[in-house]
Structure 1
Amino acid sequence: MSIISEFKAFALKGNVVDMAVGIIIGAAFGKIVSSLVGDVVMPPLGLLIGGVDFSDLAVTLKPAEGTTPAVILAYGKFIQTVIDFLIVAFAIFMGVKAINRLRHHEEAKPPAPSKEEVLLSEIRDLLKEQNNKAPEAPVTTAPYQ
């Protein structure tokens, strides 16, 4: 098998194509979630918490000298990123919960049994009924003579 045919077989496998589609849709969905959080969730939340922004919090480990920039431990950016993550995760959780609730209501009843299943169930029930009605053979305890 040539390299080109091996690559073609690999690239066109269902899993690879499904994964590519999932990544593309995930990237597009990421933009939707970012917009939801940045444009819908954060403005009211910012009003509630008084516009607190932790990204300016930092500790200078080594001050700037000439053209060398200062060495800064920017722990505030980390805190802000964690808070943003928690808000995004909660927003996604609520969205998925709403979608699952809609799916749960839309789920159809299980399909009716097929004709074969109905027939087999009837046969099973008849056999059980016959076994229950069958007279028991008398038990003899007399010894053979």
Structure 2
Amino acid sequence: MKNIQTLALLFLTAFLFISCEKDDNNSTPSIKNTGYIVGFDPCTINQSYKIGYIIITEDLKDTLVTYNLSDDTYKMPASVLLNPTDTLYKIPESYFQGYRNTPFFPESLRNAYPINFSYSITKEDEMIFYLCTTDILFLNFSQVIIKSATK
């Protein structure tokens, strides 16, 4: 009887340790990269939504869009931040003019906003979709969530 109790106790202990392991399949890994903020989602400017920024990686392999680097409400100059005490850049309103034709800043500004960042690819339930009735430009970039960013 003592052997059965010991065996049951070992089995229960092992089961508790196995069931308490973190499920890594549900977490998205962070990716570190360097790049440049080169533009914005025109819909966010036209409709006064939280601004979505376009980032091109330094190696030019990825073009990404993120909606968590701007103020909670639309305002100019546009902030690039992760929290109110950590503003990386203030982008002037004039850089967003002509937004219906292109989502990119002028060529002369393409390297003006370097950024070192870590991010994760947005899961389906985390994606941001804005209704834009007057814009015909569709951004087909990977949507990401910036975890950390520095100049």
- Pair in the same fold by TM > 0.5: no
More strand per residue? 2
User: Whose helix proportion is higher, 1 or 2?
Assistant: 1
Question: Larger C-alpha radius of gyration, 1 or 2?
Answer: 1
**TM-score of the aligned structures, taking structure 1 as reference length:** 0.22
TM-score by structure 2 length? 0.22
